[in-house]
Amino acid sequence: MIFKAGIRVLFISVLILSVYWISYLQLGNAQTENWKRYDDPGRKFTFLYPPTWTVNSTRHDNTNGFTEVILTNPNSTRMKVSVLYTPKDSLLESDTGKTVLPSKALATFEEQISVDYVLFNSTGKFPHKYSIQNYPSASDIIDFEKIKGQPGKMLYVLAKTTDKDTLVFSLSDSKRTFYKSLSNASQIINSISVST
């Protein structure tokens, strides 16, 4: 009798979770349904972004395949999203010949860019929360101050798309509005498709 009751509770729990996940997935698709699509000129990646946002600038090098895309939200003065695709990225080169982990590559990347900031502190939050298309990835949230008196937060996600190529997603915004922007950033990250 107790076994049957346990099975019934388990069945109902699985049913409720299934309905929840289906609803969640449909809601996520509905949110991005009218979003714009960005296609990399080198045909290495695509992603979706909100219809009110604009592609502020794009740099693409046909010779080596490097692409940088910067998105902005016209309703925000400080929010910026960047997607960088780097073939033969030096972040993945190793003196020992061993494979470089995404977390190590991200730490090196952060160290390289931190010199441009008055304050640049890794919070250590969400090191494995974000991933790009199931590629080995690492993520980090940074507290920063580029101009004295204008603190902000950044999210970095680095994906190792091949043994030599990386894709880095970043979101930067003021501390006050960072977490509001994070929902759209998560949707963009989930929409990124890389073709190797």
Q: What is the pLDDT of residues 87-96, one digit of tens each?
A: 999 999 988 8
pLDDT at 9: 45
Whether the predicted pLDDT of 3 surpasses 90 = no
Domain boundaries, the chain: 1-33, 36-194
- Total-model pTM: 0.80
Phi, psi angle pair for 38, to nearest 5°: -105, 130
Instruction: Render pLDDT for 34-76 as a digit per residue (tens, 0 to 9).
Output: 999 999 999 999 999 999 999 999 999 989 999 999 999 998 8
pLDDT tier at 1 (50, 70, 90 boundaries)?
low
Strands 80-86 and 119-122: unpaired
Query: 79-102 as b/e, with b when 16 or more CB fall inside 10 Å?
Result: bbbbbbbbbebebbeeeeeeebeb
pLDDT at 148: 75
Strands 67-72 and 80-86: antiparallel
pLDDT at 4: 60
pLDDT tier at 12 (50, 70, 90 boundaries)?
very low
Instruction: Just give the CATH number of 36-194.
Output: 3.40.1000.10
Whether the predicted pLDDT of 32 surpasses 90 = no
CA–CA gap between residue 65 and residue 43 (Å, rounded)? 9
Instruction: Render pLDDT for 109-160 as a digit per residue (tens, 0 to 9).
Output: 999 999 988 899 988 766 678 999 989 999 999 999 987 778 999 999 999 9
The rounded mean pLDDT for the chain is 85
